[in-house]
Chains A and B, each alone.
Chain A
Amino acid sequence: MTDSYPSWVGFTKLDWALDYCRRNSLWPMTFGLACCAIEMIATSASRYDISRFGSEVFRPSPRQSDVMIIAGTVTEKMAPLVRRLYDQMPDPKWVIGMGVCTVAGGPFDTYAVLQGVTGLLPVDVFVPGCPPRPEALLYALLKLQDKIHRPEVARQRNFHGPLTDRPTKGWMKKGEEIPEVVAAYESKGHTVQSGQLVKG
């Protein structure tokens, strides 16, 4: 088999290209449930501009959308509708759970609110916050793109590494000590040990 095609032919290339297309045109659904939707709208507005990642095409119909941003509290009454909208989306589809309500019910510990949507939908990326900042949602979108491109990152526990295929300028890895910061803190009488601030 390996002799039947030249060595420069790689089967992963098409996959790479298709994943590149998929992750760069994630069209979200126009779908807001609570206050997190306001932050979602802010994300698509001028200052944070989700369109830079090709995701500003908020489709009104679930048939044409790729990613569902569950923005807010899911009540027991709304849950079947959320599930139905998710079922109406064509594959491949992804879900971003935005806000602590989607993680574990958030501040609403009542009989009327779903305590986290994991029992309802398979959530790909959780964004904690009440509500999260627009940048936090953009970071979640980048993480989702990373997951589409390299599914193995989602299997690692506590994966906090940098988003590898998107080199970002001026960003540090976690646990990396920056001389300027250490000097700034030490000049004020603090000490920094292995990336942690220790009050002096």
Chain B
Amino acid sequence: MDWNSPFMLTVGLPLLKIVILLGVVAFCVAYTVWLERRLLGFFQSRVGPNRVGPAGLIQPIADGLKLILKEDIIPTNARPFLFRIAPIFAVVPAFAGFAIVAFAPPAGPRASFLISDANIGILYLLAITSLGVFGIVLGGWASGSKYPLFGSLRSASQMLSYEVPLTFSVLSVILMAGSFRLDDIIQAQGKLPFLVPLILAFGVYVISAVAETNRAPFDLPEAESELVGGFHTEYSGMRFAFYFLAEYANVVLVCCVATSLFLGGYKIPFLPYETLLAAHPWTVSLIGLAVFAVKAVAFLYFYIWIRATFPRYRYDQLLKIGWKVLLPISLLNLLLVAGIKLAMLR
């Protein structure tokens, strides 16, 4: 096979990468669920799933296969077509966001660890993750039942509100790095991760990301005590598994993006990656991948820790935090960063 033919470079290689990435991400998502259940168990002084396979490692496979084999119910009141395609609307953006994440330094001109080296990577990411709300709104509306409708309405306003502080906190990162490319942002953190100068933006990002992915303590769209199951109340079997997959894929995506934007991505501070890369490309690439994975899992641990600790917010409190606290803080932070940058340019 000719790897240098234009067809392979433009279609074949990206397709191969996409297939590999989809598999890896699906695997990661499944074991994120397992990790969450085990860690939640530990946080609550119990052990979590440990009997299905060694240390409960077969648990996510058992859950997935069981959900696929369950009966698929479409309620009488539902709009069947929208009901069927809504979970796909939720899953596709969650997975499409991984296209611009740089997992490791490139080992060669054709062996980069990212699918699309787009120069507007961050804008693409913000746009595509905002599309995820369509799946939730469509699913809730198409179910033809009141609780899913309330859940989807809540979800829509929550995701729209938290999109704004999230974007502003990401904007301050873009100001610091001076580029929309994710790889450039990671390169700009060679000496110091942005976590240190942009601690305020990091805080805003974490809170908004938790709210964006509808997770505790902001899991109001699926608040069990008021809204049964929220937007996926009427979904069963495989379609519910799709929503499950989308939620956890979003979690993994947020972890990857936070690692890239704030924790320095695959960089270890003060390690001269460029000179090492020229000498041993593949070794350094794989080390970078491992560094990225460790940072992402650490962030995931923090995410689950938050879920195990805080009770759910009331709905008006949620919107109040979004508009009255996070938005001014993120705007202030953006102004500060812009001022400092301007002063340094002078």
Let me know if chains A and B touch directly in the complex, using CB atoms closer than 8 Å.
yes
Interface residue ranges, A against B (CB under 8 Å): 17-18, 20-22, 24-25, 30, 45-47, 49, 51-54, 56-57, 59-61, 63-64, 66, 88, 90-92
Taking residues whose C-beta sits less than 8 angstroms from the other chain, chain B's interface range is 20 to 34
Cα distance A22–B61 in the bound complex, in angstroms: 11
User: Is B62 in contact with A90, judged by CB distance below 8 angstroms?
Assistant: no
User: Is A52 in contact with B48, judged by CB distance below 8 angstroms?
Assistant: yes
| Cross-interface CB contact of A90 among B45, B73, B224, cutoff 8 Å | B73
User: Is A18 in contact with B69, judged by CB distance below 8 angstroms?
Assistant: yes
A-B contact pairs, 23 of them (CB 8 A): A21-B65, A21-B66, A21-B69, A22-B62, A24-B62, A25-B59, A25-B63, A25-B66, A30-B224, A45-B46, A51-B46, A54-B51, A54-B59, A54-B62, A56-B37, A56-B49, A57-B63, A63-B73, A64-B236, A90-B70, A90-B71, A91-B70, A92-B69
| Cross-interface CB contact of A63 among B37, B56, B224, B234, cutoff 8 Å | B234
Inside 8 A of A47's CB, which chain B residues have their CB? 46
How far in angstroms is the closest Cβ of chain B from A43? 11
Cα distance A67–B73 in the bound complex, in angstroms: 17
Inside 8 A of A45's CB, which chain B residues have their CB? 46
Q: A52-B47, A54-B49, A54-B51 are known contacts. Are A91 and B65 too (CB-CB below 8 A)?
A: no
Cα distance A21–B64 in the bound complex, in angstroms: 8
Inside 8 A of A66's CB, which chain B residues have their CB? 66, 70
Cα distance A54–B224 in the bound complex, in angstroms: 20
User: Is A22 in contact with B66, judged by CB distance below 8 angstroms?
Assistant: yes
Inside 8 A of B44's CB, which chain A residues have their CB? 46
How far in angstroms is the closest Cβ of chain B from A42? 12
Inside 8 A of B37's CB, which chain A residues have their CB? 51, 56
Number of A-B contacts (CB under 8 A): 94
User: Is A46 in contact with B45, judged by CB distance below 8 angstroms?
Assistant: yes
| Cross-interface CB contact of B229 among A18, A53, A64, A92, cutoff 8 Å | A64
User: Is A63 in contact with B46, judged by CB distance below 8 angstroms?
Assistant: no
| Cross-interface CB contact of A51 among B41, B66, B233, cutoff 8 Å | B41
User: Is A60 in contact with B229, judged by CB distance below 8 angstroms?
Assistant: yes
Interface residue ranges, B against A (CB under 8 Å): 37, 41, 44-52, 56, 58-59, 61-63, 65-66, 69-73, 224, 228-229, 232-237, 240
Inside 8 A of B236's CB, which chain A residues have their CB? 63-64, 90
| Cross-interface CB contact of B41 among A18, A24, A49, cutoff 8 Å | A49
Inside 8 A of B50's CB, which chain A residues have their CB? 52
How far in angstroms is the closest Cβ of chain A from B148? 10
Known: A60-B229, A91-B71; 9 extra A-B contacts, CB below 8 A, are: A21-B63, A22-B62, A25-B62, A60-B228, A61-B234, A63-B229, A63-B235, A64-B235, A92-B69
Cα distance A91–B41 in the bound complex, in angstroms: 29
User: Is A61 in contact with B233, judged by CB distance below 8 angstroms?
Assistant: yes
Q: A24-B62, A46-B44 are known contacts. Are A63 and B49 too (CB-CB below 8 A)?
A: no
Inside 8 A of A56's CB, which chain B residues have their CB? 37, 48-49
Inside 8 A of B49's CB, which chain A residues have their CB? 51-54, 56
Inside 8 A of B65's CB, which chain A residues have their CB? 17-18, 21
Give A59's nearest chain B residue, CB to CB: B229
How far in angstroms is the closest Cβ of chain A from B178? 46
User: Is A92 in contact with B46, judged by CB distance below 8 angstroms?
Assistant: no
User: Is A46 in contact with B228, judged by CB distance below 8 angstroms?
Assistant: no
Max count, chain B CB within 10 A of own CB: residue among A21, A22, A45, A49:
A21
Q: A63-B73, A63-B235 are known contacts. Are A24 and B52 too (CB-CB below 8 A)?
A: yes
Inside 8 A of A57's CB, which chain B residues have their CB? 63
Give B58's nearest chain A residue, CB to CB: A24
Cα distance A18–B64 in the bound complex, in angstroms: 11
How far in angstroms is the closest Cβ of chain A from B339? 49
Inside 8 A of B69's CB, which chain A residues have their CB? 18, 21-22, 92
Cα distance A45–B53 in the bound complex, in angstroms: 22
How far in angstroms is the closest Cβ of chain A from B61? 7
Cα distance A52–B37 in the bound complex, in angstroms: 10
Cα distance A85–B91 in the bound complex, in angstroms: 29
How far in angstroms is the closest Cβ of chain B from A127? 20
Inside 8 A of B240's CB, which chain A residues have their CB? 63-64
Inside 8 A of B41's CB, which chain A residues have their CB? 49, 51
Give A44's nearest chain B residue, CB to CB: B46
Cα distance A184–B48 in the bound complex, in angstroms: 38
CB-based closest 8 A-B pairs = A90-B71, A61-B229, A63-B236, A21-B65, A21-B62, A49-B46, A46-B46, A60-B224
Inside 8 A of B46's CB, which chain A residues have their CB? 45-47, 49, 51
Cα distance A24–B60 in the bound complex, in angstroms: 10
Max count, chain B CB within 10 A of own CB: residue among A30, A47, A64, A90:
A64
